[in-house]
């Protein structure tokens, strides 16, 4: 009887053998993740994401990262600045909260843990605390942080000569201003210092909106459409058949959509014949695809139909809480590359991106 018949004889193995996991004394996280990539379920996907992220770091592509979810309040902002400092990411797209709420701890404000199942939210309101599921922050301190950002709007209005400013340049100026305020460890300041463009396409959806409201002077106008035009200039420079782009999505939301839609826009700019997909993509999410939200739209399947990911690319969906997955991945990268590693291809990318942002074109001033 030939192999592959229905009488119980198996055909050729459809893939590599699944390996069992066993505890090993002294195993670094990097080695564990590599072993997990040969295991099963989301542990396997986390291990595969680790392997793909290493390939991004070792390669020449422009690496983008999208940041959604309450990362800053959860204390994960130092992981983001670590990735920027080591040049593991070249372009950041974030929610407004994740590049402002990181200011709280740097201003000496503490977050406190509580049991969410026993939280009394009415009492928390009376006693002056805002809750982020299982941790809280003092309401007065949070409000002071929002009002603190109003000084940036006053400063920018006094020295920016044009009536408008692209969002990515606005965030660069915000980062530079934070540096002068002794808040150089923040995500925005770290991006500005290392030449990493920081896009916040929904900037009013967060503490910056309160800073704007409280500011004595409100100018220049932030031009978010100009912002996207600059993002496309960067992506068009790098997307295949150039050096290529890669993407890491922490959560979904607007940051993921902003990065993903650049692929369809670049394709249209180039005539709409050949797709301009990311060559590799990782997403860490707990969103489910069956509800139709973009956060659950798989980079390994659905995104391919839009030309956002390559069918030949290394695309990995990790269905896990990012507070579990991201620290493990970053620790694995530290184990693998060592404490002093800096990505080799980064200097050239920084120079190319800076030139694209600082070179004025007929649409207006960019620097």
Taking each helix axis from N to C terminus, what angle separates 346-358 and 224-238, rounded to the nearest 10 degrees?
Answer: 140
Q: Which of 45, 54, 256, 308 is catalytic?
A: 308
The values of phi and psi at residue 69, to 5°, are 80, 170
Count other C-beta atoms under 10 Å from residue 362's C-beta: 4
Strand partners, 281: 247, 315
The values of phi and psi at residue 133, to 5°, are 55, -80
Are 164 and 224 in contact by the 8 Å Cβ rule? The answer is: no
Distance, in Å, from the CA atom of 100 to the CA atom of 324, rounded to the nearest integer, reads: 22
Distance, in Å, from the CA atom of 127 to the CA atom of 121, rounded to the nearest integer, reads: 10
Asked about 139 being catalytic, the answer comes back as no
The values of phi and psi at residue 22, to 5°, are -135, 145
Distance, in Å, from the CA atom of 34 to the CA atom of 44, rounded to the nearest integer, reads: 9
Neighbour-count burial for 320-335, b at 16+ CB within 10 Å, e otherwise: bebeebbebbbbbbbb
Q: In the 8-state DSSP scheme, what is residue 129? A: E
Q: What amino acid positions are annotated as catalytic residues?
A: 308
């Amino acid at each position: 009887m030939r192999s592959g018949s229905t009488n119980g004889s198996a055909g050729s193995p459809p893939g590599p053998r699944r390996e069992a996991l066993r505890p090993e004394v002294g195993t670094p996280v990097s080695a564990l993740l590599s072993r997990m990539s040969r295991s099963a379920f989301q542990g396997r996907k986390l291990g595969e994401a680790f392997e793909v992220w290493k390939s991004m770091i070792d390669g020449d592509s422009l690496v983008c990262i999208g940041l959604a979810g309450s990362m800053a309040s959860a204390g994960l902002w130092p992981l983001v600045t670590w990735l920027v400092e080591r040049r593991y990411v070249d372009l950041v797209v974030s929610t407004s909260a994740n590049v402002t709420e990181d200011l709280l701890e740097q201003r000496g404000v503490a977050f406190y843990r509580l049991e969410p199942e026993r939280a009394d939210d009415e009492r928390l309101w009376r006693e002056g605390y805002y809750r982020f599921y299982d941790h809280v922050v003092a309401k007065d301190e949070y409000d002071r942080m929002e009002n603190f950002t109003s000084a940036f709007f006053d400063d920018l209005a006094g020295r920016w000569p044009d009536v408008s400013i692209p969002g990515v340049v606005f965030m660069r100026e915000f980062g530079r201003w934070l540096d002068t305020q002794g808040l150089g460890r923040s995500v925005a300041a770290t991006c500005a210092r290392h030449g990493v463009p920081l896009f916040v396409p929904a900037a009013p959806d967060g503490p910056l909106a309160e800073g704007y409201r409280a500011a004595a002077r409100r100018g220049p106008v932030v031009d978010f459409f100009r912002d996207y035009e600059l993002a496309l200039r960067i992506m068009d420079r790098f997307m295949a058949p150039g050096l290529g782009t890669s993407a890491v999505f922490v959560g979904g939301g607007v940051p993921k959509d902003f990065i993903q839609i650049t692929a369809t826009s670049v394709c249209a700019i180039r005539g709409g014949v050949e797709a301009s997909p990311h060559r590799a993509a990782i997403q860490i999410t707990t969103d489910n695809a069956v509800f139709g939200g973009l956060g659950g739209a798989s980079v390994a399947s659905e995104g391919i139909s839009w030309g956002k990911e390559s069918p030949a690319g290394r695309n990995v969906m990790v269905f896990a809480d990012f507070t579990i997955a991201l620290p493990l991945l970053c620790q694995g990268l530290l184990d693998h590359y060592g404490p002093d590693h800096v990505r080799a291809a980064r200097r050239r990318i920084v120079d190319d991106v800076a030139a694209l942002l600082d070179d004025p074109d007929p649409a207006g001033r960019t620097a």
